[in-house]
């Protein structure tokens, strides 16, 4: 017989599941509202390279609108009827929205900054801030935007905050399936879906990484704001000055 205490404790513990695609050495954990926290140190994942990835896909049903709208769309574009809904969603999404991955950092020496496509702030993997942004994908593919964190220097991090923002186009969190994942060198795969989006939100704080009682901990945030980086900054008290910026051409699609 399971006691109420055991039921509550299990509900708040992230559950690992076997990943049949990549083999038994990889296991996936989803951080949720009821189980928002996991110690990377306790899982043996606090060293090596941590791969932080953004994936997203526009929902065809949301972007296409009502049945009448779809009939009208099909009449004007008859070949589109034969395309899968997710492809149609991607096609519309490419025009209307651009999700970007970014990370605010504060180091133990007090220095602060951000790694993001906007402004070409790509970071450095082998030197401070030990974070490196690689790639920028408006198509939402699995090999899109990635931030590599050098956890061999994790003692120099005071706190990190991974967030997603919409650089260009309509606020579309509620029309897309967006997820941020953490992949550690020991095979651990952590997923944080951006659930219950706020209408018209343009940014979302997703995952916080910081030290607690000598352990490096990942914590689910998933907090939406209507503004951009400066509003994320105010929400978490980073205290940085922000100005307008643009993406370098090699990071813009």
pLDDT level of residue 56 (50, 70, 90 thresholds): confident
Handedness of CA 224, 230, 233, 237 (dihedral sign): negative
pLDDT at site 73: 40
Give percent of the chain above pLDDT 90.
51
pLDDT at site 246: 56
Q: In this structure, are residues 20 and 9 in contact, taking their beta carbons and an 8 Å threshold?
A: no
Looking at residues 203-231, what average pLDDT do you find? 95
Please tell me the distance from the alpha carbon of residue 158 to that of residue 69, in angstroms, as a whole number.
Answer: 50
pLDDT at site 244: 63
Domains plus CATH for the chain?
Answer: 30-59+98-251 (2.60.60.30), 61-90 (no CATH)
Q: What's the per-residue H, E or C state across 39-55?
A: ECCCCCCCCCEEEEEEE
Please tell me the distance from the alpha carbon of residue 113 to that of residue 104, in angstroms, as a whole number.
Answer: 6
Does pTM top 0.85 for this prediction? no
pLDDT at residue 19 is higher than 50: no
Nearest by Cα to 101 from 40, 53, 67: 53
pLDDT tens figures, 80-133: 444 443 333 333 444 457 889 999 999 999 999 999 988 889 999 999 999 999
Nearest by Cα to 175 from 71, 90, 69: 90
pLDDT at site 250: 45
pLDDT at site 59: 75
């Amino acid at each position: 017989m399971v006691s109420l205490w055991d039921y509550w404790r299990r509900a708040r513990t992230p559950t690992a599941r076997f990943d049949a695609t990549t083999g038994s050495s990889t296991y996936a954990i989803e951080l949720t509202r009821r189980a928002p926290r996991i110690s990377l140190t306790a899982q043996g994942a606090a060293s090596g390279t941590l791969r932080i990835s953004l994936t997203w896909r526009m929902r065809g049903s949301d972007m296409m609108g009502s049945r009448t709208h779809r009939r009208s769309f099909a009449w004007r574009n008859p070949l589109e009827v034969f395309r899968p809904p997710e492809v149609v969603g991607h096609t519309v999404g490419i025009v209307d929205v651009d999700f970007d991955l970014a990370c605010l950092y504060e180091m133990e020496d007090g220095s602060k900054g951000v790694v993001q496509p906007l402004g070409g702030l790509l970071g450095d993997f082998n030197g401070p801030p030990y974070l490196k942004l690689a790639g920028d994908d408006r198509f939402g593919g699995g090999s899109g935007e990635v931030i590599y964190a050098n956890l061999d220097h994790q003692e120099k991090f005071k706190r990190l905050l991974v967030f997603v923002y919409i650089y260009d186009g309509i606020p579309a969190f509620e029309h897309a399936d967006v997820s941020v994942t953490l992949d550690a060198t020991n095979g651990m795969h952590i997923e944080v879906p951006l659930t219950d989006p706020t209408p018209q939100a343009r940014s979302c704080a997703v995952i916080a990484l910081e030290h607690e009682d000598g352990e490096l901990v990942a914590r689910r945030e998933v907090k939406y704001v209507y503004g951009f980086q400066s509003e994320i900054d105010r929400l978490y008290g980073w205290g940085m000055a922000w100005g307008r910026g643009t993406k370098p051409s090699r990071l813009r699609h």
